[in-house]
Structure 1
């Protein structure tokens, strides 16, 4: 009995202590008699506070549509000069890297045997002409038959044909420049024996030069003969121009590209055949394009979206993009001129979030 009384007393003391000594310090009497919780001063932002954002007002602009491609410098003319007949090379009249004119003698093959044959044919031709002259007088007085005269006349023509063959062979002993250009590195030395097809030297014409480049098939209708393209060389900030002179009549079925050739003057030899060059071709521009900062685009599962301000709140808008530069991107669908586009604080936004607008 005494134990029960002690336990009851302890419980009563604990109850009184909780009521009088452990009351909540942040509970105060409300005007209506209810308790109201008060937090610490200087707390965080309240739920639903407006997010400060920068806004860009969309507008129509004129956009230059430029196609970029990688090109290669190609010589205007290039030929590998080779021997046509067999023989010993007796003269190599070139200096490597020098400029030669069209028709200039490059190499000479020994032709003594052919010249001896030519002299023999010329002697026979001279004799045949004297015989033909005498027989012509005899034919006029009917001292010989016409058949005998015609045989002699035909002999002259046959000898003349043999002479033409020898002259053609003599022409092949000389290798001449087919066009003006620069001589490359020689492949053979004087005194060597040449066979038909032996390469002697390469001749390259570098003014003007050709520029070959490929464009995607979807741009084939934009590149036309006579149109101008811009060129940029590595290590050179200057812009150069070239004129389109040829377009391949078919598209590469594997790469789905079209080969285009342009020509540019090269007076200072700034272009070297085989050099890489960056090509810029101007396509049809767009006078009614909407361009926005790239940071305003938010990639999503179904495409791309942006946030616009309507009635003080952020609203989502799905968009379709077009041309892109390093800082801006074209919107082809989803925005209208005059829309208030949000370009900052995007990660903190969701649909219908209240925003505090600051115009750019």
Structure 2
């Protein structure tokens, strides 16, 4: 009797479990059908045709186009200092003069000898016309005149070496000199850096080698002036790649308004490369899985997932190189909960795509939009 009771109890429990499992799966299936039938509200936009460009970001060091150390070519005591640290000087301006009394006296002697040699030669030439002296004597006096002229030039040069002048216009650096100090040959007087456009040295990755060319526009920023952007253009390209970094060294000319930029300054560069017309969509519409990017598009109230190839980026927007057409309706909100085949209710989002005001819907006529940054 007890055995029959246990069997009956087991059968009852088994039947209850079967009913529970059936109800659970039935309700889950019914809920899934309900969800499938319920359309999801999504925002969509159509791609915009815009002119985009690749950009290279790099860092570089600023230097003057002309920068030298002013040094003394002769030894002597300083008798004049005609500049202050940080002063803007003109080309040819006298900066330092050394004591030149001996050099000045030597020049006077050389000039006197030159005048005497010239008088003797002119007298001999007139006598030669009358055959009063020989041609050999005239030639000797001509040689003496040429030697006197060379000695006068040499004395004048030695005197000029006592004057240190600015070879080009620029800004003089710090000095550690005073009147009366003695300079030896090769001693540094000060530094001189040219004003105006500055050179910015940086490198471009080899994958952009075919797109880099002289004259391309760029912008640069520095922590010294965080609120300012300095404009420039690419001026020189290196002749060979660096074998270790696989980059091409280049030089850019950066505008230097008011002379605020100084040599040695560290700058971040944004170089604009190729420009092209392409489709642009909001960056928020893109889903990334591994190395692939996807978007959802709506076809007759049904969502479907499309694989896309992305190009340049700009804050808030991204170029689609392939995978979309101009007429596609791209989902920009709620796509993370969508699956291909889900029903959707379309809501146009007029503010989802933020591009240049001159950009137009794909297929229309318009001007360039904001350019993107190379991935």
Q: CA deviation at 1:348?
A: 4.4
Structure 1's consecutive aligned runs of 4 or more residues displaced over 6 angstroms after TM superposition are: 11-20, 42-45
CA deviation string 1:222-262 (max 9, x = no partner): 55544543444544445553344x22252433332341322
Say if 1:232 and 1:239, in contact at 8 Å, map to a contact too: yes
Partners in 2 of 1:13 and 1:100 — Cα distance?
115
Distance 1:324 1:124, change over 3 A: closer
Counterpart CA distance in 2 for 1:13 and 1:281 is 88
Secondary structure in 1 aligned to 2:145? Answer: helix
1:103–1:177 Cα contact (<8 Å) kept: yes
Is contact 1:52-1:357 (8 Å) kept?
A: yes
Cross-structure match for 1:273? 263
Cα-to-partner distance string for 1:245-281 (whole Å, 9 max, x where unaligned) = x222524333323413224252x23333333444444
Q: 1:25-64 maps to which residues of 2 (within 5 A)?
A: 46-48=31-33, 49-50=35-36, 52=40, 54-64=42-52
Residue aligning to 2:183: 194
**Change in 2 beyond 3 A, CA 1:117/1:46:** same
Larger Rg: 1
| Counterpart contact for 1:105–1:175, Cα < 8 Å | yes
Question: Cα RMSD over matched residues?
Answer: 4.0
In structure 2, what is the equivalent of residue 207 of structure 1? 196
Q: From 320, 324, 344, give the equivalent of 2:309.
A: 320
For residues 171-229 of structure 1, give each alpha carbon's deviation from its aligned partner in whole angstroms, at most 9, with x where no partner exists.
11111011222211014444343333221111122234344444344445555544543
Q: Confirm or deny: 8 A CA contact 1:180 1:205 kept in the other structure.
A: yes
Gap runs ≥5 in structure 1: 1-7, 28-34
Please give the alpha-carbon distance, in whole angstroms, between the structure 1 residues aligned to 2:256 and 2:4. 109
How many Å separate the matches in 1 of 2:251 and 2:278?
Answer: 30
Q: Is the 8 A contact 1:100 1:182 kept in 2?
A: yes
Give 5+ residue unaligned stretches, structure 2.
350-375
Contact 2:78–2:98, Cα closer than 8 Å, also in 1:
yes
The match for 2:112 is 123
Deviation at 1:85, TM superposition (A): 2.4
Equivalent of 2:164 in 159, 172, 175: 175
Distance 1:347 1:229 in 2: 38
CA distance in structure 2 between the aligned counterparts of 1:320 and 1:194, rounded to whole angstroms? 68
- Paired with 2:7 and 2:131, the residues of 1 have a C-alpha distance of 169
Alpha carbons 1:58, 1:336 under 8 Å: kept: no
Equivalent residue number for residue 354 of structure 1:
342
Report the TM-score when normalising by structure 2. Answer: 0.73
How many residue pairs end up in the alignment?
341
**CA positional deviation for 1:149:** 2.8
From 251, 256, 259, the counterpart of 2:250: 259
SS at match of 1:46: helix
1:166 equivalent in structure 2:
155
Q: What is the match of residue 4 of structure 1?
A: none
CA separation of 1:156 and 1:44: change in aligned 2, threshold 3 A? same
Q: Which has the higher helix share?
A: 2
Residue 207 of structure 1 aligns to a residue whose secondary structure is: coil
Q: Are residues 47 and 155 of structure 1, via their aligned partners in 2, closer, same or farther at CA, if it must alter by over 3 Å?
A: same
**Contact kept? 2:103, 2:159, Cα under 8 Å:** yes
The answer to whether structure 1 residue 94 and structure 2 residue 79 are counterparts is: no
1:158 is paired with a residue of what secondary structure? Answer: helix
